[in-house]
Structure 1
Amino acid sequence: MSWSESFGRIAAQLAQHRPSLYPMEELDDLTSLKIAKIPVDGFAGEHRSYALAVKAGLLLLNESLEESHELSQSLHSREGSYWHGVMHRMEGDYPNASYWFRMAGGHPAQEAWTSLIREKLVETGEDCFGSPSFAGKLEAWTEDGRFDPVGFNGLVELQVTRVRNERVEQWLMDLQVAEMHTLLQHCYTQSGGEGTWRERR
């Protein structure tokens, strides 16, 4: 089976899944094995790096942190650094996550993610989720309109360690899956994939 066919099948399985902010176990260990077997032998240079970044992203959508970490830390690229940051955020190592987000710099996928954040903020309106501490942190994150991943990392840390508000949790999970989808789309396109990865069903 070709890389695109293998990728399409797994992407279809994971497209609707919303990973937890702090997963306790992977969604499906069989899916993790299937991702590992997606062939990348036909790729070279940057295309290979992007294809491996796609696999790192799929593993995080499956909440397979250890396997994704192994891949992302071998990638000396902004995409590898970004997935590395997401992995550490999901495992609760927030300082390390911030370090890797800074290493990724202003990633091109951030523009698409920013548009989705703005839509989500419009939906939310003035709702502060009943948490003044979260509302203050959210206001600080949104005031310059850059929506950097380091600031988002801080929001997730606040929710997980202090706020523990179910509405905040769901809102942050929505933003997290949007972040992962936009980065995965970027990696897929740069690897030579056509269309959107969610159309590969």
Structure 2
Amino acid sequence: MSFDPADYPQALAELVAGDRRRPLGEGTPQAGAKAALQRLDLAAAFAGQRVEDPAMARCCLSGVWLVHDFLDESHTHSQAISTAEGSFWHGVMHRREGDFGNAKYWFRNVGDHPVYALLADRFGGWDPYDFVDDCESAVRGGAGLEECLDRQQAEWELLFDYCFRGAIA
């Protein structure tokens, strides 16, 4: 899959068109996006689309906040979504903030997710717990930082697209 922001409604497209290769840490909230993020509700995010699954749509909001390094806001969204995808976003957020044990807890709540198969196809295998360990090692000065950044970006893009497609299916 090639991620193309033009595949999404304008409000989402504008917010996902930027740099999706985020740091393994908390990053720096992108202040220039905050006003647009605060205005973003399901109606604006999915303008022109019929939302069939509001939980999946809310997952997209969690992902958009996360890609702009607003981890607290992303956390608020994902924590309120009691689905595998909500847990997935929750796990990604905790991994980003460096709470690796908590990230694994949330990945246990995800179960065997279809996005894992897509990631496995792309990277020759995928285990969310091993990825958490790889990120922790890279953050602590170990090898593999660039590979972790590539895998994290692909994970975000595939999960975002999966949630978007599920929201409008």
TM-score, normalisation: structure 1:
0.72
- SS for the counterpart of 1:173 is helix
Report if aligned partners of 1:82, 1:104 keep a CA contact under 8 Å in 2: yes
- SS for the counterpart of 1:63 is coil
| Residue in 1 that maps onto 2:79 | 73
| Residue in 2 that maps onto 1:21 | 24
| Residue in 1 that maps onto 2:158 | 182
Which letter does structure 1 place at the counterpart of 2:23?
S
| Residue in 2 that maps onto 1:101 | 107
- SS for the counterpart of 1:191 is helix
Q: Distance in 2 between matches of 1:178 and 1:189?
A: 16
| Residue in 1 that maps onto 2:121 | 115
Unaligned runs of 5+ in 1: 119-144, 194-201
Unaligned runs of 5+ in 2: 1-7
Report if aligned partners of 1:36, 1:55 keep a CA contact under 8 Å in 2: no
Post-superposition shift, 1:41?
4.5
Q: Is residue 8 of structure 2 the alignment partner of residue 6 of structure 1?
A: no
- SS for the counterpart of 1:99 is helix
Measured against aligned partners, the alpha-carbon deviations of 1:13-58 in whole angstroms (never above 9, x if no partner) come to x3x43100113422x1231331232231598986211111001111
Q: Distance in 1 between matches of 2:115 and 2:136?
A: 22
CA shift in 2, pair 1:71/1:115, >3 Å: same
Report if aligned partners of 2:65, 2:71 keep a CA contact under 8 Å in 1: yes
Report if aligned partners of 1:75, 1:81 keep a CA contact under 8 Å in 2: yes
| Residue in 2 that maps onto 1:39 | 41
Aligned length, in residue pairs? 158
Identical-pair percentage = 30
Please say which of residues 46-55 and 95-104 is displaced more in the overlay.
46-55
Measured against aligned partners, the alpha-carbon deviations of 1:160-181 in whole angstroms (never above 9, x if no partner) come to 1251x4xx11111001000111
Measured against aligned partners, the alpha-carbon deviations of 1:40-99 in whole angstroms (never above 9, x if no partner) come to 159898621111100111111111111100100000011110010011001100000000
Report if aligned partners of 2:85, 2:163 keep a CA contact under 8 Å in 1: yes
Q: Is residue 67 of structure 2 the alignment partner of residue 61 of structure 1?
A: yes
Measured against aligned partners, the alpha-carbon deviations of 1:98-148 in whole angstroms (never above 9, x if no partner) come to 000010111111111111212xxxxxxxxxxxxxxxxxxxxxxxxxx4x12
Please report the RMSD computed on the Cα atoms of aligned residues, expressed in angstroms.
2.2
Q: Is residue 137 of structure 2 the alignment partner of residue 158 of structure 1?
A: yes
Which letter does structure 1 place at the counterpart of 2:114?
P
Post-superposition shift, 1:157?
1.0
**Which residue, 144, 154, 169 being the options, matches 2:145?**
169
Q: Would you identify which runs of 4 or more consecutive aligned residues in structure 1 move more than 3 Å?
A: 41-46
